[in-house]
Homo-oligomer: A and B are copies of this chain.
Amino acid sequence: MAKEKKLVEAITSMEDDFAKWYTDVVLKAELTDYTSVKGCMVIKPAGYAIWENIQNEVDRRFKETGVENVYLPIFIPESLLEKEKDHVEGFAPEVAWVTQGGLEPLQERLCVRPTSETLFCDFYSKEIHSHRDLPKVYNQWCSVVRWEKTTRPFLRSREFLWQEGHTAHATAEEAKERTIQMLNVYADFCEEVLAIPVIKGQKTEKEKFSGAESTYTIEALMHDGKALQSGTSHYFGDGFARAYDIQYTDKDNKLQYVYQTSFGLSTRIIGAIIMVHGDNSGLKLPPKIAPTQVMVVPIRQDAHGVMEKSHEVEKSLKEAAIRVKVDDSDKSPGWKFSEQEMRGVPLRIELGPKDIEKNQAVLVRRDTREKMIVSLDELPEKTGELLDTIQSDMYTRALEHLNSHTYEAKSYPEFQATIERKPGFVRAMWCGDAACEDKIREDTGATSRCIPFDQEPIGKTCICCGKPAKKMVYWGRAY
């Protein structure tokens, strides 16, 4: 038992130090590791398998809406980056510059893409000529680089993996529709697959993407009450089209600028999975995203028939399209239990000589630790049902946490006290002025997370300045 204890003791409890708990889980669940490359991370097999599942699910949903995948260069020439003024101001301070290729210095610096709006614009300016060429609904899966000063695995690193969709449309209406459509794809994915409820809304002017006319976001609430921006979708109007000269001939043979959007979701979302669902025993993966949904742990591996029966169970679950493995390592069952809990495997099946005698297995849920005994004859069916239950229970618990940690404030003192004492979202009225956002941030550390689509006025004046309020806003401290 010494070993089991060690594994669990090695994690800081989330109540003691949430940040340390997070890092412990990331490392002990073997999702990532540090490297000799400062600010970058290694994504290890257990972490990358989650990303592969995310990619599969998101990519399938994208393709159902007509998205096509492409791949654009990793480098952006400085002159190309500079064409859209707001965009370059936002990104230039945080890019990595290539100044030498092979043995020779470059005539023009190239940055390693921090995002690819400029490259897509360059591409579209060559590809789009007529209204027949529209819409373009392209996406790429790639890595991007942003020269962050302080970094944390998944949440903020100098390189991260993501997808970036970039679309061009004949009309503003169509582009706006696409912006919201993709935000909904993200929200549905988070809720249905990751069991993470999100608040959908618009970013304020201050918080919007550099170069966008409007930015939409899904915001999730972590276990410690901090918010995490989990996916964004931007409407650009024709701003980029004018800067990069992307024009098409319409049906009346007139030249028109296109209207554009972009949308992105990154490996950051793995941080959300950890911080929404995890506990002091480690990671908890929702079944739909778990690379291994069920781990069969044989009890008394050497006993007659135990390994055979374990592999029979594995086979029968595989046939029911369940992602299952047998832990046939030479570790003790207790050690295996702790290890699978740390790694977040949603369901464990224990199978020993006595169980086999009774034609049964013991099922243990990762989310509730609940144990149940199931007849081997019914195992594939019951396991499938139980995984569905775990998925939906995990969503319900996350939603309850979101709801119970969403507060309202009707005055500035109430707002300040709530932010200080009750970690979570605070809903409060706002005048629309960036100065109030600045003051709130300075006073409380909270930022405007979004102006939710679901506008439910809770007062008439801005909690900060007292002027007439324009919008109800979700505020919170954030990652």
Contact = CB atoms under 8 A, between A and B. Distances in A.
Q: How many copies does the complex hold?
A: 2
B45 A68 contact: yes
A34 B119 CA distance: 12
A227 to B, nearest CB: 26
A36 B74 contact: no
A193 interface: no
Interface in A39-59: 40-45, 48-49, 51-52
A164 to B, nearest CB: 14
Interface string A96-132: 1111111100000110100000010011001100000
A51 B71 CA distance: 10
Interface in A105-161: 109-110, 112, 119, 122-123, 126-127, 138, 142-143, 145, 147, 149, 158-159, 161
Q: How large, as a class, is the contact surface on chain A?
A: 35 or more
Interface stretch (A75-83, A249-257, A439-447): A75-83
Contacts of A76: 37
A143 B37 contact: no
Contact of A74 (B40, B44, B127): B40
Contact of A37 (B42, B49, B119): B119
A73 B159 contact: yes
Contacts of A70: 42-45, 48
B159 A75 contact: yes
B96 A71 contact: no
A404 interface: no
Contacts of A100: 96-97, 99, 109
B101 A98 contact: no
Interface string A386-422: 0000000000000000000000000000000000000
A40 B73 contact: yes
A328 to B, nearest CB: 14
A188 interface: no
A280 interface: no
B102 A147 contact: yes
10 contacts: A35-B72, A37-B77, A42-B72, A42-B73, A43-B72, A48-B71, A74-B112, A96-B100, A97-B98, A97-B99
Interface of A: 33, 35-37, 40-45, 48-49, 51-52, 68-77, 80, 93-103, 109-110, 112, 119, 122-123, 126-127, 138, 142-143, 145, 147, 149, 158-159, 161
Of all A-B residue pairs in the complex, the 7 with the closest CB atoms, nearest first, are A40-B73, A102-B147, A45-B68, A43-B71, A97-B100, A37-B73, A101-B147
